[in-house]
């Protein structure tokens, strides 16, 4: 080997040694750096988010503190003050361990598994929710009102009235979100959602139109004592204003007019009627408490209710009748007649005369008069004591064996052992021996009157 060749070999060997030293130095630095990074992330979070909060590079304690104080990016939310439920280091430590087992390049979004206690839920719903509603109302008071599109009925036709878009918040939706978060989230933060109107061509409006059109096919049948009455929704649900999704306020005036017309035709309470009395004469009888009438308000209300709710409904008019004698045009064949002019009393059962007796009544006029009209027997009682005041103001207490009251202020049929027998059926004795308004019966006959009468039976008193 020449000297020149020997010199070249020495130069190669020097370069090789320098390269080895350089590589070794780089490897040493890399190892030391890796050991430093590994040591750092032994107690610091790698890239990670917990409950939407960035905790990268933080210790467990730092991450816990940040989670319990961070406001987050909630500029478009209503954050409910006092709703935060704090996490503890044990929960964050568990997430730290989970993150440590993942790749350095991963950037997971994690959540703490804190359960909202019943006490915390109760506080949120009873204390914080009313404040939240008030806050939304205060915000909406300063915003442009929103009127949603409505589907109305006008003269039997379905009409869509387009709404007006405003800037008010959707309170109903936000309250629903509040309640949802109240059971689940560490802090209640509700998005400020603007209330949007429905487009006239939207599915919601189409559904409302369909519902109203189907409603027009509903029918109600009202059974009466002699015939059935038919009510069609298409005839009476002709005008309505939508008040909420699926809800309407219907105009009931048309139906009310029909019910009033019906009542005027069939009501008997307080109306005069003709009655063929015991003497064979026909008398016009008016007044008293016996009779019946249609409860127009209740009947109208329930027909409207069923026309809206059910395709077909059957009702019975007797459930909407007030008074006594439903279905009767007058008193029928079972009754008591009191003829004040002749002071006679007649008890009929199914058209057969059971008792005929002379009586004494109260005066024809004045404070002790016996009322005229048609009444009904309120109840029957044995061995009663009748109490009241005489004309001079003194009190009386009269024991009787049979008491059949027909008014709530103390008029009725009863035996009167204090009366002379000669006064019964004697109109000329009335001025001296009249009662305080009751119909006095002879003691020997009153037992039969009591036997052949019943509660709710009509008592017709005429002159």
Which positions are annotated as active-site residues? 414, 438
Interhelix angle for 296-309 vs 253-266, to 10°? 130
239 closest CA partner among 223, 252, 220: 252
User: Which residues are CB-contacts of 233 (< 8 A; sequence separation ≥ 6)?
Assistant: 215, 216, 217, 218, 219, 307, 308
Please enumerate in sequence order all residues whose Cβ is within 8 A of that of 227, keeping only pairs 6 or more positions apart, or say none. Answer: none
- Asked if residue 225 lies in contact with residue 327, where contact means CB atoms within 8 angstroms, the answer is yes
8 Å CB contact between 346 and 439 = no
Question: Going by DSSP bridges, is the β-strand pair 321-323/335-339 parallel, antiparallel, or unpaired?
Answer: unpaired
Q: Radius of gyration over alpha carbons of the chain, in Å?
A: 47
CA dihedral 87, 89, 90, 96 (to 10 degrees): 100
Structure tokens given for 450 = 């009591």
Please name the residues in contact with 60: beta carbons below 8 A apart, sequence gap of 6 or more.
43, 45, 89, 92, 93, 96
Query: 182: which DSSP letter?
Result: H
Nearest to 104 by CA among 38, 169, 183: 38
Residues in the chain: 463
Look at the block and give the residue holding tokens 């369909």.
Answer: 210
Q: Are 359 and 415 in contact (CB under 8 A)?
A: no
Instruction: Estimate the share of the chain in helix, then strand, then coil, as percent rounded to the nearest 5.
Output: 35, 25, 40
Q: How far apart are CA 171 and CA 188, in angstroms?
A: 15
* Residue 255 backbone zone (phi > 0: left; psi -120 to 50: alpha; other: beta): alpha
Do residues 263 and 295 lie in contact, with contact meaning Cβ atoms separated by under 8 Å? no
Nearest to residue 324, comparing CAs of 296, 293, 297, 348? Answer: 293
String of b and e for 265-293 (b: at least 16 CB within 10 Å)?
A: ebbbbeeeeebeeeeeeebebebbbbbbb
CA distance 121 to 10: 84
Quick check: 430 and 350 in contact, CB under 8 A? no
């Amino acid at each position: 080997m020449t000297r020149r060749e020997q010199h070249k070999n020495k130069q190669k060997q020097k370069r090789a040694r320098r390269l080895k030293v350089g590589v070794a130095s780089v490897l040493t630095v890399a190892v030391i750096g890796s050991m430093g990074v590994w040591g750092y992330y032994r107690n610091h979070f790698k890239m990670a988010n917990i409950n939407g909060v960035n905790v990268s590079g933080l210790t467990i304690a730092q991450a816990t503190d940040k989670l319990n104080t961070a406001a987050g990016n909630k500029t478009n939310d209503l954050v409910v003050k006092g709703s935060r439920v704090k996490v503890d280091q044990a929960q964050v430590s568990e997430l730290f361990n989970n993150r440590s087992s993942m790749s350095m390049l991963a950037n997971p979004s994690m959540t703490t598994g804190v359960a909202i206690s019943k006490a915390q839920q109760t506080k949120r719903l009873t204390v914080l929710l009313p404040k939240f509603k008030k806050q939304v109302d205060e915000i909406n008071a300063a915003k442009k009102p929103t009127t949603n599109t409505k589907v109305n009925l006008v003269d039997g036709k379905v009409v869509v009235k387009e709404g007006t878009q405003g800037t008010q918040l959707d309170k109903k939706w936000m309250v629903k979100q509040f309640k949802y978060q109240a059971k689940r989230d560490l802090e209640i933060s509700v998005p400020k959602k603007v209330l949007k109107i429905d487009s006239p061509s939207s599915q919601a409006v189409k559904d409302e139109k369909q519902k109203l059109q189907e409603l027009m096919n509903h029918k109600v049948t009202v059974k009466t004592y002699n015939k059935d009455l038919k009510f069609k929704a298409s005839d009476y649900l002709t005008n309505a204003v939508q008040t909420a999704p699926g809800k309407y306020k219907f105009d009931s005036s048309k139906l009310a007019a029909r019910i009033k017309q019906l009542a005027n035709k069939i009501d008997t309470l307080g109306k005069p009627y003709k009655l063929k009395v015991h003497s064979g004469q026909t008398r016009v009888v008016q007044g008293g408490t016996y009779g019946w009438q249609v409860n127009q308000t209740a009947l109208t209300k329930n027909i409207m209710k069923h026309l809206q709710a059910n395709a077909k409904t059957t009702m019975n008019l007797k459930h909407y009748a007030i008074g006594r004698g439903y279905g009767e045009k007058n008193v029928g064949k079972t009754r008591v007649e009191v003829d004040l002019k002749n002071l006679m009393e007649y008890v009929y059962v199914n058209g057969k005369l059971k008792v005929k007796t002379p009586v004494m009544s109260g005066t024809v006029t004045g404070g002790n008069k016996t009322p005229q009209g048609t009444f009904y027997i309120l109840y029957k009682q044995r061995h009663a004591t009748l109490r009241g005041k005489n004309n001079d103001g003194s009190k009386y207490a009269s024991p009787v064996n049979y008491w059949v009251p027909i008014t709530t202020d103390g008029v009725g049929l009863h035996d009167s052992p204090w009366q002379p027998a000669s006064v019964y059926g004697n109109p000329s004795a009335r001025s001296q021996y009249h009662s305080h308004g009751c119909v006095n019966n002879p003691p020997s006959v009153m037992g039969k009157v009591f036997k052949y009468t019943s509660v709710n039976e009509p008592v017709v008193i005429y002159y």
